[in-house]
Amino acid sequence: MCGIAGWIDFKNDIKDKYEIMEKMSRTLVPRGPDEKGCFYSEHCDLVHRRLVVIDPENGKQPLCKENYTICYNGELYNTKELQRELEELGYTFKGHSDTEVLLTAYMKWGEGCLEKLNGIYAFGIWDNARQQFFMARDRAGVKPLYYSVVDGGIVFGSEPKALLAHPAVKPVIDSEGIAQIMLLGPSVKGDSGIFRDIKQVPPGCFARLSKGVFSLECYWKPKAKPHTETVEETAEHLAYLIRDSVTRQLVSDVPLCTFLSGGLDSSIISAIAAEEYGKKGEVLNTYSVDYKGNRENFRASMFQPDEDAPWIVKMSEFIGSNHVNVVIDTPELADALLPSTIARDAAGMADVDSSLYLFCGEVKKRFTVAVSGECADEIFGGYPWFRNEEMLNRKGFPWAASTEERYGLLRKDLLRDISPVDYVEGLAEATVNKADYLDSDSPVQRKMRGMFMLNFYWFMQTLLTRKDRCSMAHGLEVRVPFCDHRIAEYAYNIPPEIKFYREREKGVVRLASEKILPADVAWRKKSPYPKTHNPDYTKLMLDSFRKVLGDSDCRLYEIMDREMLKELEQSEGAAFNKNWYGQLMTTPQMFAYLIQLDHWLRSYDVVIER
């Protein structure tokens, strides 16, 4: 994994723009602390910050081959197969790095190489002979790729901060950016970088820049296909795909561990990994996160029915792993809100971000690569809103029922041309309308396909952004086997009666896991990413929020209504009677989000366009 950035300019000679490119490169040091590289030419400059994971000697970047130069962030999990196929076609290789294989695949197949890739990636390739630039992002959007169209070409990079280091890209937000922050946040539109001048290449899309003409196209989305397998056959097929994905993602030339929460998804991954390590006579290392005071203060809820701790012990003993439990105290959780904001380049998931930020920092002390269970819930229907009738049939996004309350916090002179409910519901409807259907689909199956699209392209992207930024801020690569596009394609077509086998969330995944997990773990009710239950955290967030409001240069007042902020503070959050976002962002997380928002506005010197 790495950090990439570049500048393509067809109007000017930029081969001597070292100072600008070095400034962009420095913003990405945490993503790639091991090495740096650069490429300068008349119309294309590229910089690379490397985290060494595969083939230390031959994976240096930017990598040049004939007339082509690549700048790449990611990991290919079918490198061996691709290299073998290309060798049979007459190509030769210096080593076994996926960077060289990817570049050679592009040289052979052009944009068609994307159909052959299994992995997570964001990359740019300069074709000097054609004077053309090509960049692409993986199907699930695991790796980030931002760009800004500037006079004469584009500026691109792994994170917005890299683009903002270029003089042509300004930290300005317009009404669209404000709407995203206040009506959708921490979610972001798939093509947006929040800032007016910054866009994202959406998941499964690629872009071309040729002689100053920029174009963006999508090469992948889930396709509807008939599902003819029985429940048992589906579980067997699924077990094969999951095992194959996990096994492929264990390849590393540096130390690797897994995250283990005691839940279904991380337990499956850790059990498979431990089995593979055992074949080599090695012991798997696993990590979990918890919070000081959680055992005393835990209260069961619909979203979090029990504690993780006993299940973690059970699974670690079952697979025989060397386990480390990272315990985070309340003050450090609060303190990490600010650096996690900088890591994400935006206000994020509050302490859900800051805890992961701290957790990844601890893991990095011993490991460079981790494997995690994210994204199974979005793909297989693990959340309450997949089956709760009220949430399932709610317009807009089922995890966000606070649009009008959020809008009520805004200054009345903002978003005059945006109807908040129409804006949010319109974005959700447009996403559902992209779903592919079969004529034979039942109404329930059609509904599930729409829910898949909403979760895959919105909720899952929020979690993947969190995972990428909080881990790469410490130079830790985190892999997510459930994001394998083969699993997503297969899951998209599993009928609800099979997907929710035994009337359970992710029922067919549970059935598929029975041969490798204890039965009670396989059928344990879903519990989300753990958050603190310590009441001290709520008090600390309220005190911090009051301090932010009391600062003479409080930036929140530029976006939010002063009286509404005062009411929030005086009522200790009771004036906002909905969850801010999803299952985990309740009252203390709402305060934390607003603290992050103020810090972001200050730190990035954000200009608000009215």
- Put residue 212 in one of left, alpha, beta given phi > 0 → left and psi -120 to 50 → alpha: left
Give every CB contact of residue 171 below 8 A, 6+ residues apart in sequence: 164, 195, 604, 605, 606, 607
Query: Has 2 been annotated as catalytic?
Result: yes
Q: Which two tokens stand for residue 573?
A: 């959050």
Exposure of 17 by Cβ count < 10 A (0-12 exposed, 13-18 middle, 19+ buried)?
A: middle
Identified catalytic residue from 2, 44, 113, 483: 2
Q: Which two tokens stand for residue 144?
A: 């980030």
- What is the SS3 assignment for 224-248? CCCCCCCHHHHHHHHHHHHHHHHHH
- The residue among 424, 372, 382 whose CA lies nearest residue 401 is 424
- Assign 137 to helix, strand or coil: strand
Alpha carbons 43 and 11: distance in angstroms, whole number: 8
Give every CB contact of residue 603 below 8 A, 6+ residues apart in sequence: 341, 342
- The residue among 529, 180, 177 whose CA lies nearest residue 350 is 529
Phi, psi of 527 (to 5 degrees): -130, 130
- The residue among 173, 186, 594, 178 whose CA lies nearest residue 414 is 178
Specify whether the CB–CB gap between 180 and 189 falls below 8 A: yes
Specify whether the CB–CB gap between 325 and 288 falls below 8 A: yes
Q: What's the farthest any 2 CA atoms get from each other in the chain? A: 72
Give every CB contact of residue 591 below 8 A, 6+ residues apart in sequence: 541, 542, 544, 545, 573
DSSP, residue by residue, 272-336: HHHHHHHHTT---EEEEEEETTHHHH----SS--S-SHHHHHHHHHHHT-EEEEEEE-HHHHHHT
Exposure of 57 by Cβ count < 10 A (0-12 exposed, 13-18 middle, 19+ buried)?
A: exposed
Helices 587-603 and 535-550 cross at an angle (nearest 10°) of 40
Amino acid letter at 228? T
Alpha helices for 345-478 (secondary structure H): 351-364, 376-380, 389-392, 403-408, 420-432, 443-454, 460-472
**Catalytic sites, residue numbers:** 2
